[in-house]
Amino acid sequence: MSRTGTRPRSGAVARARTHIAIERTTLRNGLRVVVSPDRSSPAVFVAAYYDVGFRSEPKGRTGFAHLFEHLMFEGSVNLPKGKHDELTTGNGGWNNGSTRNDFTNYYEMMPSNALELALFLEADRMRGIALTPENLRNQTDVVKEEIKVNVKNAPYGGFSWLYLPQVLFNTFPNAHDAYGDFNDLEAATLDDAHAFFDRYYAPGNCVLVVAGDADPDKTFAMAARHFGDIPAREVPATVDAEEPVPPKERRKVHTDPHAPQPAVAVGYRTPDPIRNLDDYVAATLLSSLLTDGEASRLFQRLVKHDRIASHVGGSVGLVAGTFEVRGPSMFEISAMYHGAADPAPVLRSIDEEIARVIDGVDAEELARFTNATRANVLGALDSLEQRGMWIAAMEQQRGRAEMINDIPELLARVTPADVSRVAAEWLRPAARAVLDWRPGAVA
């Protein structure tokens, strides 16, 4: 409690609720369509989420899901290379795509007069893509430059999002280099791409989401018009990426020629994001309590008290966000620290702070983090893009886009005892991964 100043009114948290409308239909070819109308701005977000990601990649083709995402912009049945982008930007919008562990998405943010155009564009590449050896060569080169700028030529490139899962996990779907080994990328063929498209880009393997200035019934009719005649194909079984929790600590040293200072990332497994949602949500608040901002335990400890670290971070999720992961997820804590490359003092302080959380969490402290997290969620939901992405992932992975309205309540239900229990169960030193990041020349 503060000594002086105004107290927030008690209604603050209660108002942090959302009533985001969700309507859905399924076309006969299996395409699931979700519309979330919001007429407040003349803008619309359209996204196609395919159930394919890093975890679907075959051995010998690391990075292929992402390379393939690039190929989806290289021309389709009715449109030559470049036309998709020109129709998007030339009508006042933008598009992008991204590849994650459990999905690959393609999306357009458009003035709402271009809604039907966006649906046409997504339908056209679901119909088929126009692959040429030149385009494959070109996008392989672009992807290699992407990996260089984000990882190989950058200090701390790929630090906790790319490399830490490779230490925490042990099976190929979870532990391989998701951005891709250059030899694997070079080896990819047009036949690989055609087979990948046939297998994973079936209408029944996709969720189409429209959020914003759109009438649900008219949008369903438009979707049927543009996607309805794409033939149904067999839908692959969902990847089972389950694997045991590490039986003992896993540790790896990574040498970074560009990093001026050492860093350390610690990974733990988490409660199952789907089957044990309540504990998974408790883990997100545990993460906030430990690492989110100036008031967090580890910021106070490592930056303010020990004065050993300059930056502390943490998250629950993989490269995909907290509620955009279906398979095994990760609880991550990271710190950049001063002095010699020896993570032991940082790890010792982390362990002590986790032990304190296991001993008990004050209700007032948890309430503050819950309140801050709910306010952040509300802020994020103001963005049509963020809202549409959460809706899409929740529908794709849980069949329940409505969960977007549950988040405030799910957070509010977490008790101090839940946070301590989840910490005791999951943040065990013996079941963690440590990525020991050291500056210096690569041997």
Q: Using CB under 8 A, which residues numbered 347 to 376 contact another protein?
A: 368-369, 371-372, 374-376
Identify which range of 53-61, 274-282, 382-390, 411-419 contacts another protein by CB under 8 A: 382-390
Tokens representing residue 142 in the block: 């672009």
430 or 442: whose CB is closer to another protein? 442
β 94-99/23-26 pair status:
unpaired
By CB under 8 A, what part of segment 238-267 binds another protein?
A: 257-261
Rule CB under 8 A: choose which of 21, 28, 58, 82 binds another protein.
82
Judged by CB, which is closer to another protein: 82, or 399?
82
DSSP 357-399: HHH---HHHHHHHHHHHHHHHHHHHTSHHHHHHHHHHHHHHHS
Tell me whether residue 251 or residue 307 sits nearer to another protein (CB atom): 307
**Rounded least distance, CB 89 to another protein, Å:** 5
d(CA 52, CA 102): 6
Q: Longest C-alpha distance within the chain, in Å?
A: 69
Binding positions for another protein, 20-79, rule CB under 8 A: 40-43, 77-79
> Closest Cα partner for 37 from 19, 49, 52, 21?
21
In whole angstroms, the minimum distance from the beta carbon of 149 to another protein comes to: 4
Residue 214 engages another protein in binding (rule: CB under 8 A): no
Q: Which of 51, 57, 69, 124 binds another protein (CB under 8 A)?
A: 124
Position among 33, 35, 65, 110 found at the interface with another protein (CB under 8 A): 110
List the structure tokens of 278: 């309540």
Angle at 331 between CA 273 and CA 434, to 5 degrees: 145
Judged by beta carbon, residue 154 or residue 235, the one nearer another protein is 154
User: CA 82, CA 75: separation in Å to the nearest integer?
Assistant: 7
Backbone angles phi, psi at 230, to 5 degrees: -75, 120
Q: Please, what is the end-to-end C-alpha distance for the chain in angstroms?
A: 53
Q: How far is the CB of 365 from another protein (least distance, A)?
A: 8
Q: Residue 356 is inside which H or E element, if any? A: helix 344-359
Cβ nearer to another protein, comparing 206 with 384: 384
Q: What are phi and psi of 390, to 5 degrees?
A: -65, -45
CA-to-CA distance for 364 and 243, rounded, in angstroms?
A: 37
Q: Which of 53, 75, 93, 158 binds another protein (CB under 8 A)?
A: 93
Tell me, by CB under 8 A, how many residues bind another protein.
Answer: 89
Query: How many other CB atoms are there within 10 angstroms of residue 92's CB atom?
Result: 12
Among 28, 194, 251, 304, binds another protein (CB under 8 A): 304
Smallest separation, CB 309 to another protein (Å): 9
Closest approach of Cβ 429 to another protein, in Å?
27
Phi/psi at 436 (nearest 5 deg)? Answer: -95, 100
| Cβ contacts of 65 within 8 Å, gap of 6 or more | 52, 53, 54, 56, 57, 99, 104, 178, 196
List the one residue from 241, 303, 354, 392 that touches another protein (CB under 8 A).
303
The yes or no reply on residue 120 touching another protein (CB under 8 A) is yes
Q: Is 231 in the site for another protein (CB under 8 A)?
A: no
- Nearest CB to another protein, comparing residues 6 and 183: 6
Residue 172 or 182 with smaller CB distance to another protein: 182
Distance between CA atoms of residues 116 and 207, nearest Å: 17
CB of 235 to another protein, least distance (A): 24
Give the residue with the Cβ less far from another protein, 40 or 183: 40
Does 183 bind another protein (CB under 8 A)? Our answer is: no
Q: Residue 250 or 368: which CB sits closer to another protein?
A: 368
Among 51, 116, 395, 436, binds another protein (CB under 8 A): 116
Strands (E), 127-200: none
Task: Select 15 or 251, whichever has its Cβ closest to another protein.
Answer: 15
- Classify strands 206-212 and 43-50 as parallel, antiparallel or unpaired: antiparallel
Binding mask 137-166 for another protein (x = CB under 8 A): xxxxxxxxxx-xx--xxxxx----------
